[in-house]
Amino acid sequence: MARTIDQIRANKLPSNMMQFAARGALQVAAAENIEILVYLAKHNPVFGELARMTLAGWDEKSSLAAAADPQTPREVLDYLISPDNLRPPLLPALLENPSVAEAQVAKLAIGASRDSITAMLNSKRVRSLRTVLQNLKSNPFLKKEEAEELKKLSAPAVVLSVSAAAPAVSAPAAAPAVQRPAATTETPEFTVTPESTEATPEAGADDAADEGGADDETVSAYLKEHDHDIAAEGEKPFHAVGGIVELLGADYFPVTQSADAPPPDPTPEPVPAAAPKAAPAKPQVPAKRDNALQKINRLDVKGRIQLALKGNKEERSLLIRDGTKVVALAVLEAPKLSDGEVEKFASQKNVLESVLRQIPLKRRFMKNYKVVRNLVANPRTPLDLGLGLMKHLLIADLKNIGGNKDVSETVRKLALKMYKQKEDQANKK
């Protein structure tokens, strides 16, 4: 007798039974129920959304059993560990399940939350997966002491490989070490490293332009003025509106190899002359892999406010998306904030509504037509604000917004109405 999941795949169940299936109400084993729900969630355009909602609230005991069982179908395990679907209580079981693909764990490691990082570092299996450890090193939420722990985890493998590959090279290796400094001074990576937020070619110009940001007096005044709001937030950590990967994009993280394949072995070839040459590579991996996001993540609310007022362009572009209102609004008070940055902020969907409401209150910003246009065209802009600003738009932009399906229907209708009115007036002249 064919299983129910096979009948669903063959599209042999009637519509009413498919609805029961999407609600998890079929009289089948718990494991098959989850398999059915995952299949519908991923492949069925009609009942997929209902199946996803059912899975999100599925019985935790049954979910844990599926997460821990090596016999659970690969599609189910991939769904459960996906960052979009992951339920934190299931993570430890998923990490230890040998049937969960290393590529999926590595993908999760890139933007894992603090709780997920802790679970990964406590997982015996994860500590043996080199690709996952490599990706964890790039996670912006990784703490300094955890980065040191990851460094120690990878160190023994390198030491053993070198000693096993060239046991008799230790004495000759000491001789050329004296002459190495002359070569290292010619390597550009020692002065400009991609991990540094203060020395990258892209950030250099911004840092120079941002020198002399808000003085201590300005910072103190802002902290005093918003003392009540800061106290209410307590020790709230940085949380990007929309999530980290959506905030920065996958390209932000320095992962160069495929998640399906382990990273290349850094151990030098067992040639005596190769051992000394491998040593200069060590300075290219900085002791502190601090990008701007890692720096921000270690700051409390007051520290992030100070950085918003005194930091550089890259730091402001991250802090404007801080889920803590008092921090995000501090960015708009930064003395070095440029018109170009505000234009970008006005068009962003991953910012708090209060940020978009604050921009029009600054007369300087409202003198910039692009800021006004971007606010009206931004689906995130509150309806009352967008409608109020629409009267300032040119006829061409009114026409464009009238056809923009991302904005609300009310905004589109008013834009088309105003466009027709202005077009009629222009034709009469």
Dihedral angle computed from the Cα positions of residues 261, 263, 269 and 270, in that order, rounded to the nearest 10 degrees = -90
List the structure tokens of 358: 């604050």
Which pLDDT tens digit goes with each residue over 4-24?
889 998 888 898 899 999 999
What sections of 23-99 are H helices per DSSP?
A: 30-43, 48-56, 60-68, 74-81, 91-96
Which pLDDT tens digit goes with each residue over 106-147?
888 887 888 889 999 999 999 999 888 888 887 878 888 888
Between residues 79 and 258, which one has the greater pLDDT? 79
Mean pLDDT, all residues of the chain: 78
AA letter at 49: E
Which pLDDT tens digit goes with each residue over 143-152?
888 888 888 8
**What is the distance of C-alpha 204 from the center of its chain?**
23
**What is the distance of C-alpha 137 from the center of its chain?**
14
Question: Is 100 within 8 Å of 77 (Cβ atoms)?
Answer: yes
Reported as a pLDDT band with limits 50, 70 and 90, residue 276 is low
How far CA 391 is from CA of 282, 381, 388, 405, in Å, comes to: 60, 15, 7, 20
Q: Which letter, b or e, does each residue of 320-358 get, where b requires 16 or more Cβ atoms within 10 Å of its Cβ?
A: bbbbbbbbbbbbbbbebbeeebbbebbbbeebbeebbeb
CA-closest candidate to residue 24, choices 1, 69, 56, 46: 56
Which pLDDT tens digit goes with each residue over 164-188?
444 444 434 444 443 443 333 333 3
State the Cα–Cα distance between residues 408 and 49, nearest whole angstrom.
23
Between residues 195 and 351, which one has the greater pLDDT? 351
AA letter at 78: D
Say what the pLDDT of residue 284 is.
54
Say what the pLDDT of residue 170 is.
41
For 325: left if phi > 0, alpha if psi spans -120 to 50, otherwise beta; the answer is alpha
Q: Is the pLDDT of residue 75 over 90?
A: yes
Q: Is the pLDDT of residue 67 over 90?
A: yes
Handedness of CA 247, 139, 251, 186 (dihedral sign): positive
Q: Is 243 exposed, middle or buried (0-12, 13-18, 19+ CB in 10 A)?
A: middle
Question: Is 403 within 8 Å of 427 (Cβ atoms)?
Answer: no
Average of pLDDT values for 268-273?
50
Question: Is 408 within 8 Å of 379 (Cβ atoms)?
Answer: yes
State the Cα–Cα distance between residues 305 and 319, nearest whole angstrom.
9
Reported as a pLDDT band with limits 50, 70 and 90, residue 157 is very low
Q: Is the pLDDT of residue 428 over 90?
A: no
Q: Is the pLDDT of residue 95 over 60?
A: yes
Query: 211-215, 221-225, 297-301: which has the minimum mean pLDDT?
Result: 211-215
